[in-house]
Copies of this chain bind each other. A is one copy, B any other.
Amino acid sequence: MIVRDLNEIIKNDPDRVVSDARWSSIRMLLAQDKMGFSFHVTFLEAGSEHTFEYKNHFESVYCMQGKGSITDLATGETHRIKPGVMYALNAHDRHILRAEEELVMACVFNPPVTGSEVHREDGSYALEDA
């Protein structure tokens, strides 16, 4: 059994904290944990806007806190994000995520993120061996 505390990771385990200018993501589970998925808690700054496209991963994102919106760039459709709303990128959907208030999201990736990926310019993560 693995037991981890978000606040302990933030304080003591910088390798599991990945930050960009206006978001940070705490990797509670990575590929090395061998669960077959990775699990991250991600904070997106109030007022920020992000374009992401995970060409190589499925991702689900559950809103635990905050307010914002997501636009599906394939359809142009925009959905409200608030606590209790989940979106799942089952078609590697290119999208814009906007945080009106700080968003705190529970994110699951399949295949699991290894921790060594970087966000590429197109908003995707490379696969470890890609």
Contacts and interface: CB of A to CB of B under 8 A. Distances in A.
Interface of A: 1-7, 28-29, 33-37, 39, 41, 58, 60, 62, 64, 70, 72, 74-75, 79, 84-91, 93, 95, 106, 108, 110
Given A84-B7, A85-B6, A106-B62, A90 B39 contact: no
What is the predominant secondary structure among interface residues of chain A facing chain B? strand
A88 to B, nearest CB: 4
How many chain copies? Answer: 2
Given A1-B72, A3-B79, A37 B108 contact: yes
Contacts of A75: 1
A71 to B, nearest CB: 10
Contact of A87 (B1, B7, B87): B1
Nearest to A89: B1
Given A62-B106, A64-B64, A86 B4 contact: yes
